[in-house]
Amino acid sequence: MAQMTMVQAITDALRVELARDEKVLVFGEDVGVNGGVFRATDGLQKEFGEHRVFDTPLAESGIGGLAVGLSINGFRPVAEIQFFGFVFETFDAIASQAARMRYRSGGRYHSPITFRSPFGGGVKTPELHADSLEGLFLQTPGVKVVIPSNPYDAKGLLISSIRDNDPVIFLEHMKLYRSFRQEVPEGEYTIPLGKANVVREGTDVTIVTYGAMVHTSLKAAEEIEKMRGAKVEVIDLRTINPLDMDTVIESVKKTNRAIVVQEAQKSAGVAAEVMAQINERAILHLEAPVLRVTAPDTVYPFAQAEDIWLPDVQRVVDKLVQVLDF
Amino acid sequence: MSVSAAVEQAGNNTPLQILAPDGTVVNPELMPELSDEQLRDLMHKMVFTRVWDQRAISLNRQGRLGFYAPVAGQEASMIGSQSALAKEDFILPSYRDIPQMVWHGLPLYQAFLYSRGHIHGGQIPEDVNVLMPQIIIAAQCTQAAGVAMGFKLRNEKRVAITYFGDGATSQGDFYEGLNFAGVYKLPAIFVSQNNRYAISVPFEKQTAAESIAIKAVAAGIKGVQVDGMDVLAVYKATQEAKQRGINGEGPTLIEALTYRYGPHTMAGDDPTRYRTSEEQGEWEQRDPLIRFRKFLEGKGLWSEKDEEAVIEEAKQAVADAIKKADEYPKMKVSDLIDVMYETLPRGLEEQKAEYVEKESK
């Protein structure tokens, strides 16, 4: 066991998989000599050679297409999109190509690609770096979307993503990269995709969340317990496509109240989908409407406004009060 | 002899140059017609920009600036090209091309507000013909074709000029922009500042082509490679490109060979991981300011006193602009919601109300 930051856990997962499976290739902009702009691939080119870990020309569309081609030719590409705000350039390769490969070929071909990418607010980046765009891929059948909230999960989920035989988008919240360390086992271990994690047990209300908002939600849970003794259950979705609704429904049947907390804008995202499915499967167990804490429906804001734009502990507490008092 | 003839004569292997690194004139026949005042103005802008860049880096380190991409080393490429434009020509910059925006009319304090992540940094004054800095690499190349097509459709004698780096030439948008501009014979100028590194990736790993300029051939447009450390050469190449554009002869791709002395941006890039100090030293020998200063001094057009006066002026201007940026009203999320649509949809109105309340506390 070693104490690792999330970015170190990610490097470690890549190292484990590069060593285990020669079909794994790591590539993207600045991932080679420079070790990635966040150092997520630090040392990997030196260790595994330029044919396994390599810099690409500056072309996100090209990176996506290259990954698709390699994937149908027996490789297991781990392609880095330097910032997820640039994914629109790669969108065609992901949504029109990789996501449809298995379907279009009736199972003859598949695209076991992992697209790794940093995203997430609170670190004062220029525009199109921090955007939470995961909702777009909830509407893209054929891909999986994984968003870890801590170093341990990041490693286990990334290894599972690389081994998965379908395309996986693995999103790494920039604010979590170095914000804390955690015990991370050496060597290989996996955390199943599509399985949520109950990170705090409670009986009075459920918070469904993922990514950096897991930490915001946990703080809000502590606060409301101090305020009025309410016991909050917090579910870290870990994978947002597919959603582990069984875990969510089981919790809601116990607590009868739920809110969803996401960093992304309000409309048509993870929160909307979770709320719809709770409605479909557990409406008779609810004592209050399911509410959500989200960012407003604007473009991701200029750096000076992001702290107030992003959901915070107070807004989660307010929403919990609202459903508890309904 | 025209630039294009000179380049063809050199077999595309020798970049267009007017001043040698020691400031002597190597191609007098290419010398642009510039008055003494215009020559001094080029130097003024370059020295001012160098001082501003140094101040910006130090402000960034003090946590007082925000996002910043250093420009030292690229002054001749930036200022030589911008200076060959008229005020009505339209600039589509990348995030490093703040100097061209400012010399084209953007108030300096707004450039600082842009760095700080304030919406007013993007509120370009009505009479200033520039777009906000582009973050998505090469997205401005296709847009430049659109702006240029507008000028052509309205029979205006104006050009659209866009700036991007060597890495951007790997993007599809770069090729698409050149191709569209070529097909419609548009008054567009594509300036690739080849500073040899796309963050860490060297030019040799960006393309197997011998140059960027040569990529113009496939699009059927004019391509020119120029010494990007030579402000007169960049000026001349841009002036000719502009002339071709407004004459209806179509777009030009200019590759300016240059170097960024500093990191990619101030957000943690460490150039020692991917390039040597020897290489940087070699490029600093070709410094655009030293070269042009020697040339001007030889003509009796520049003195130490002139230099000092610009340095003082720049320091004062930066201090004033920072003060103005500090004093500018704080940005509110509720204001940002207002600029999402011409008329606010009902759902957003409700969301706005939440922020109005929150921000009034």
Among candidate residues B104, B196, B260, B286, the one labeled active-site is B260
Q: Give first-to-last CA distance, chain B, whole Å.
A: 68
Cα(A294)–Cα(B30) distance, integer angstroms = 60
Question: Taking CB atoms and an 8 Å cut-off, how many pairs form between chains A and B?
Answer: 118
What percent of chain A has a predicted confidence (pLDDT) above 70? Answer: 100
Backbone angles phi, psi at B243, to 5 degrees: -60, -45
Positive or negative CA dihedral for A82, A85, A89, A91?
positive
Average the pLDDT over A115-138 and give the result.
95
Contact criterion met (CB < 8 Å) for B201 and A127: no
Q: State the pLDDT at residue A115.
A: 98
| pLDDT for res B361 | 78
Q: A76-80 and B188-194 as β-strands: parallel, antiparallel, unpaired?
A: unpaired
Which residues have a Cβ under 8 Å from the Cβ of A125 and sit 6 or more positions away? Answer: A83, A174, A303, B67, B267
Candidates A263, A261, A259; CA nearest to A310 is A263
Q: Write out pLDDT tens, residues B153-168.
A: 999 999 999 999 999 9
Q: Rounded distance, CA A120 to CA A137, Å?
A: 16
Instruction: Enumerate the active-site residues of A.
Output: 129
Angle at A80 between CA A78 and CA A84, to 5 degrees: 135
Q: What's the mean pLDDT in A170-181?
A: 98
pLDDT at A312 over 80: yes
Per-residue pLDDT at B12: 55
Instruction: Render pLDDT for B52-104 as a digit per residue (tens, 0 to 9).
Output: 999 999 999 999 999 999 999 999 999 999 999 999 999 999 999 999 999 99
Tokens describing residue A231 = 């016991």
| C-alpha–C-alpha distance, residues A314 and B7, integer Å | 64
Q: Are B66 and B87 in contact (CB under 8 A)?
A: no
Residue B32 contacts by C-beta under 8 Å, 6 or more apart in sequence? B18, B84, B232, B235, B236, B239
Q: Identify the closest residue of chain A to B348 by CA–CA distance.
A: A297
- Pairing mode of beta strands A144-146, A239-241: antiparallel
pLDDT at B8: 56
Q: State whether A57 and B201 contact (CB < 8 Å).
A: yes
Helix/strand/coil (H, E, C) string of A214-238? HHHHHHHHHHHHHHHCCCEEEEECC
Query: Are B274 and A34 a contacting pair at CB < 8 A?
Result: yes
Mean pLDDT of the A36-64 span: 97
A312 touches chain B (CB under 8 A): no
Residues of chain B falling short of pLDDT 50: 1, 3, 6-7, 9-11
Mutate to test the interface with A, among B60, B131, B136, B340 (most CBs of A within 10 A): B136
Alpha helices, DSSP H, located in B299-345: 304-327, 333-338
Count of residues making up chain B: 361
pLDDT tens by residue, A10-36 = 999 999 999 999 999 999 999 999 999
pLDDT at A1: 80
pLDDT in tens, A63-89: 999 999 999 999 999 999 999 999 999
Which stretches within chain B are classed as H helix?
3-9, 36-61, 75-83, 98-103, 108-115, 139-153, 172-183, 203-206, 215-219, 231-246, 277-285, 288-298, 304-327, 333-338, 346-359
CB contact burial A249-287 (16+ within 10 A = b; e otherwise): bebbeebbbbbbbbbbbbeebbbbbbbeebeeebeeebe
Query: Would you state the pLDDT for residue B13?
Result: 66
Q: State yes or no: pLDDT of A206 exceeds 80.
A: yes
pTM above 0.90, yes or no: yes
C-beta atoms surrounding B257 within 10 Å: 28
Find which of B333, B335, B359 to mutate to test the A interface (most A CBs within 10 Å of its CB).
B333
Identify the pLDDT of residue B299: 97
Residue B5: predicted pLDDT:
52
Average pLDDT value for chain A: 97
Position B9 scores a pLDDT of: 43
Among chain B residues, the shortest Cα distance to A267 is held by B347
Is ipTM > 0.95 here?
no
User: Regarding beta strands A258-265 and A168-173, do their DSSP bridges make them parallel or antiparallel, or are they unpaired?
Assistant: unpaired
Query: For A228-278, what is each residue's pLDDT tens digit?
Result: 999 999 999 999 999 999 999 999 999 999 999 999 999 999 999 999 999
**Sheet containing A168-173, strands listed edge to edge, beginning at the edge strand earlier in sequence:** A53-55, A24-28, A76-80, A114-119, A168-173, A144-146, A239-241
Location of structure tokens 């008092």: A325
**Contact criterion met (CB < 8 Å) for A57 and B137:** no
Window 67-96 of A, Cβ < 8 Å to B: 85-86, 88-89
- Nearest of B25, B15, B72 to residue B291 by alpha carbon: B25
Pairing relationship of beta strands B197-198 and B201-202 according to DSSP bridges: antiparallel
C-beta atoms of B67 and A125 within 8 A: yes
Q: What is the pLDDT of residues A182-193, one digit of tens each?
A: 999 999 999 999
pLDDT at A43: 98
Residues 6 or more apart whose Cβ sits within 8 Å of residue A239 = A144, A145, A146, A147, A157, A193, A194, A195, A196
Q: How far is B268 from chain A (nearest CA, A)?
A: 8
Minimum-distance CB partner of A29 among B199, B207, B354: B199
Residue B6 is predicted with a pLDDT of 42
Examine residue A242 and say whether the peptide bond preceding it is cis (omega within 30 degrees of 0): yes
A244 burial (CB, 10 Å; 0-12 / 13-18 / 19+) is buried
Tell me, what's the pLDDT at A201?
98
Q: Are B131 and B124 in contact (CB under 8 A)?
A: yes
Chain B residues with CB within 8 Å of chain A CB? 66-67, 95, 116-119, 121, 135-137, 167-168, 170-172, 198-201, 205-207, 267-269, 273-274, 330-333, 336-337, 340, 347-348, 351-352, 354-355, 358-359
∠ CA B2-B3-B6, nearest 5°, is 90
Q: Can you give the pLDDT at residue B4?
A: 56
